[in-house]
Amino acid sequence: MSFNYLPLLVVWIALAVVVLALFVWRQTLARNEDDALHVLQGALAPQAALALKLDAIDKWGKILTVLTVVFGLLLAAGYVFGQLIGRSGV
């Protein structure tokens, strides 16, 4: 009996694409970030909003990266285990 890993592989690829998209989105937003601190005329609000947005992207990026790596390792381990069981004399 053979297990079809294709749907799980598609899910893993989708997770990897989402992580890559978050990385590109964060880099695009950070490119416009001003590293200087402007405290006059209330110019701190746009910097704070951008910092909050980057923090949220970082949080989700870390969570999804860990999820993608763990899912990929489990998928690979399941495949290897299935190959080893499949070769065991049956």
Residue 74 within any structural domain of the chain: yes
- CA–CA separation, 3 and 29 (whole Å): 42
Percent of the chain predicted with pLDDT > 70: 81
* Structural domain boundaries, residue 74: 59-90
Residue 81 within any structural domain of the chain: yes
The count of domains in the chain is 1
Residue 43 within any structural domain of the chain: no
Residue 83 within any structural domain of the chain: yes
Residue 4 within any structural domain of the chain: no
pTM: 0.79
Residue 75 within any structural domain of the chain: yes
Nearest one of 79, 59, 58 to 12, comparing CA atoms: 79
Residue 68 within any structural domain of the chain: yes
Nearest one of 31, 48, 50, 30 to 39, comparing CA atoms: 48
pLDDT digits (tens, 9 = 90+) for 3-45: 889 999 999 999 999 999 999 999 999 887 766 666 666 556 6
